[in-house]
């Protein structure tokens, strides 16, 4: 059982002039943003319980060791590690730095940063969103992967809630931008990357297929107002494809094609209806081509559905 102390009790001790040995186990970046002025930084992922035990026992009697974090969770974990190492006189500060600041304990402020808890929420949310998007809009092969990713993150949250521990937080805490001395540029870029992760997941989940009916698509292709582009791979194309369609594998788009290479396949003055097997890869192709100025409209219907509807299909004999 971990002993605790309230922020108010800590403030009373400080006002009485009592000696307080307080360690802050948040990340260096969090510590630099704001910390109790008499706290020293020993991040949880750098905490060496055995070394701490040796340091505190070599000189005989020592005062209690108080441990603080942001809200109280990581300080409890640190206390448990220290107790397992043989230190019994350790105390977790309830409510963490937030509570200490609220009751009026003196704090030192630095450059504002993103808390570890926020980073964890962003990463988990982005991964769940991406998993759901893969399952809902990806190819058949991606569906179990997407569902598995979302389920894994959900199970991780349940485990974290039950045990009050988070392995992902420990991993994120080790990343460069959570360490002291990181430049503003690094922090800014990192935030941009976290936002990009969310946007990537969101775009996968909400990306839409064209609302044009297949009848409209067929009419525009016949009138020469639009073209069909197949973004499947060459081996899929060889097994069967639509007459008049152009092959432009997604793998080539992702690898990068020059404007000149794209111009040989894609007209810039016509609507481009792209399709794949089940409607997933064409969404990815649209996100690559639309910023280049092409009027790309992904079809939800895959090759087999389009052939069944009435688009003439061609089969290339196997060699």
Residues 189 and 234 both lie in one domain: no
Residues 97 and 153 both lie in one domain: no
Q: Of 154-163, 223-232, 278-287, which one has max mean pLDDT?
A: 223-232
Query: Is residue 58 over pLDDT 70?
Result: yes
Residues 101 and 136 both lie in one domain: no
pLDDT at 27: 86
Give residue 304's domain range. Answer: 214-314
pLDDT at 139: 62
Residues 134 and 149 both lie in one domain: yes
* Six token digits for residue 24: 């802050």
Poorest-confidence range of 58-67, 174-183, 309-318? Answer: 174-183
Residues 93 and 54 both lie in one domain: yes
Counts for the chain of helices (H) and strands (E), in that order: 15, 13
**Taking the chain, what is the end-to-end CA distance rounded to the nearest angstrom?**
73
Residues 67 and 140 both lie in one domain: no
CA distances from 112 to 24, 29, 181 (A): 17, 9, 13
What average pLDDT does this structure show over 14-35?
90
CATH code of the domain in which 31 resides: 3.40.250.10
Residues 96 and 133 both lie in one domain: no
Answer whether residue 197 is part of any domain: yes
Query: Is residue 266 over pLDDT 80?
Result: yes
For the stretch 80-134, pLDDT in tens is 999 998 888 899 999 999 999 999 999 998 876 667 777 888 888 888 888 888 7
Answer whether residue 130 is part of any domain: yes
pLDDT at 311: 94
Mean pLDDT in the chain?
Answer: 83
Query: Is residue 53 over pLDDT 90?
Result: no
Kindly list the strands in the beta sheet with 90-93, ordered across the sheet, starting from the edge strand earlier in the chain.
3-5, 90-93, 65-68, 21-24, 39-41
The size of the chain, in residues, is 319
* Boundary (domain end) residue, out of 77, 109, 141: 109
Q: How far apart are CA 129 and CA 319, in angstroms?
A: 43
Kindly list the strands in the beta sheet with 296-298, ordered across the sheet, starting from the edge strand earlier in the chain.
246-247, 226-230, 271-275, 296-298
Q: Of 15-19, 214-218, 253-257, which one has max mean pLDDT?
A: 214-218
For the stretch 234-255, pLDDT in tens is 999 999 999 999 999 999 998 8
Residues 100 and 127 both lie in one domain: no
Answer whether residue 175 is part of any domain: yes
Query: Total domain count for the chain?
Result: 3
* Boundary (domain end) residue, out of 83, 109, 135: 109
Residues 102 and 75 both lie in one domain: yes
For the chain, strand residue ranges (E) read: 3-5, 21-24, 34-36, 39-41, 65-68, 90-93, 107-109, 226-230, 241-242, 246-247, 271-275, 296-298, 313-314
> Where residue 184 falls among pLDDT bands split at 50, 70, 90?
very low
Residues 235 and 190 both lie in one domain: no
What average pLDDT does this structure show over 165-171?
73
* CA dihedral sign, ordered 194, 200, 206, 211: positive
Answer whether residue 319 is part of any domain: no
Answer whether residue 266 is part of any domain: yes
* Boundary (domain end) residue, out of 140, 175, 206: 206
Answer whether residue 225 is part of any domain: yes
Nearest to 299, CA basis, from 210, 208, 207: 210
Residues 98 and 122 both lie in one domain: no
What average pLDDT does this structure show over 163-169?
72
Global pTM?
0.47
Answer whether residue 74 is part of any domain: yes
Query: Is residue 200 over pLDDT 80?
Result: no
Answer whether residue 22 is part of any domain: yes
pLDDT at 132: 84
Residues 94 and 146 both lie in one domain: no
């Amino acid at each position: 059982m971990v002993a605790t102390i309230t922020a108010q009790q800590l403030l009373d001790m400080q006002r009485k002039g009592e000696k307080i040995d307080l360690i802050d186990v948040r990340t260096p970046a969090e510590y630099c943003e704001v910390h109790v002025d008499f706290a020293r930084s020993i991040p949880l992922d750098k905490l060496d319980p055995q070394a701490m035990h040796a340091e505190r026992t070599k000189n005989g009697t020592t005062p209690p060791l108080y441990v603080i974090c942001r809200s109280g969770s990581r300080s409890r974990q640190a206390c448990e590690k220290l107790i397992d190492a043989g230190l019994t006189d350790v105390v977790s500060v309830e409510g963490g730095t937030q509570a200490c600041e609220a009751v009026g304990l003196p704090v030192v402020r630095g450059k504002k940063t993103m808390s570890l808890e926020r980073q964890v929420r962003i990463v988990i949310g982005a991964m769940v969103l991406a998993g759901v998007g893969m399952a809902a809009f990806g190819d058949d092969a991606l569906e179990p992967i997407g569902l598995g990713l979302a389920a894994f993150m959900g199970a991780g949250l349940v485990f974290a809630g039950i045990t009050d521990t988070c392995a992902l937080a420990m991993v994120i805490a080790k990343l460069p931008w959570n360490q002291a001395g990181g430049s503003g540029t690094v922090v800014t870029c990192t935030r941009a990357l976290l936002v990009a992760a969310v946007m990537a997941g969101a775009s996968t989940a909400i990306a839409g297929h064209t609302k044009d009916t297949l009848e409209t698509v067929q009419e525009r292709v016949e009138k020469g107002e639009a073209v069909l582009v197949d973004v499947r791979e060459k081996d899929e194309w060889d097994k069967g494809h639509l007459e008049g369609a152009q092959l432009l594998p997604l793998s080539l788009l992702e690898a990068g094609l020059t404007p000149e290479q794209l111009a040989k396949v894609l007209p810039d003055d016509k609507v481009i209806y792209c399709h794949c097997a089940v409607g997933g890869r064409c969404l990815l192709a649209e996100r690559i081509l639309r910023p280049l100025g092409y009027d790309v409209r992904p079809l939800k219907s895959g090759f087999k559905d389009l052939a069944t509807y009435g688009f003439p299909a061609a089969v290339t004999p196997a060699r």
